[in-house]
Amino acid sequence: MRVNNVVSKMGGREKAYGINLSFPSTTIVELAGRAGFDFVTFDSEHGPFTVDLLDDLCRVADMAGLTPMARVPEIDHATILRFLDRGIMGITGPHIVNAERAQQLADACRYTPRGSRSFGSGRGAYFGDFESGPAYMKHANDNVLVIAQLEDVAVLDNLEEILAVDGIDLFASGAQDIAQSMGLPGQPNHPKVKSFEAQIRNKIHARGRKMADDVMASARATNLFLDGAFRFLKNWKV
């Protein structure tokens, strides 16, 4: 059965490396695998990722040796289920502002007894082709990575309750939306935003928990192309 490369790297105290896509491209997913990345993340909160496209993107990621992950547009069970049933093995839930939303995210991502994910027989579940249902469900639970994105100023008042929720593996920030929630739109590098992020990070680390960037490093596909293009033009343009 499929193994989550990021979970494996975490178990070996290694860092995993990935690429983020804000647009669908099976070719870039294939190239990312050839380049040696560990995972690919699809930004489905802001990008045009439909269910049928995700099926093909996950299929190519599997063939390329990449673990497919996604930031979902919202954390309703039905939405997250569609991603998991395609074969997504890591879910980032946006705007986790309190324990209730954290629990909703955690429950949607795993089968009973660790959650309430519905059982389907799509490609994410090998089209039902496994010897043991219980063994498959345990393996799936162990290999899905659940990431809570903390990107609202209200998080600071609710962080202890959020951290007490079982089933959240990692936490991520989101400077742009933090800035907006602080009345500082378009200023993700404002000192108040940076201070807020530092407070959240320190409290998470103090509880023995990890931020996503503690164990995962990723680059945006658009930046990889643009940075390479700018360097090329700088070196060759007369």
Q: Which residue is catalytic, options 46, 77, 139, 205?
A: 46
From CA 21, how far away is CA 219, in angstroms rounded?
9
77 in active site: no
How far, CA to CA in Å, does 62 sit from each of 65, 173, 215?
A: 5, 27, 21
Contacts of the segment 119-122: beta carbons below 8 A, 24+ positions apart:
120/81, 120/85, 122/85, 122/86, 122/87
Per the CB < 8 A criterion, the answer to whether 106 and 141 are in contact is no
Burial 26-55 (b: 16+ CB within 10 A, else e): eebbeebbeeebbbbbbbbbebebeeebbb
**Angular region, 26: left φ>0, alpha ψ -120 to 50, beta rest:** alpha
Give the pair of three-digit tokens for residue 23: 């647009």
Active site residues: 46
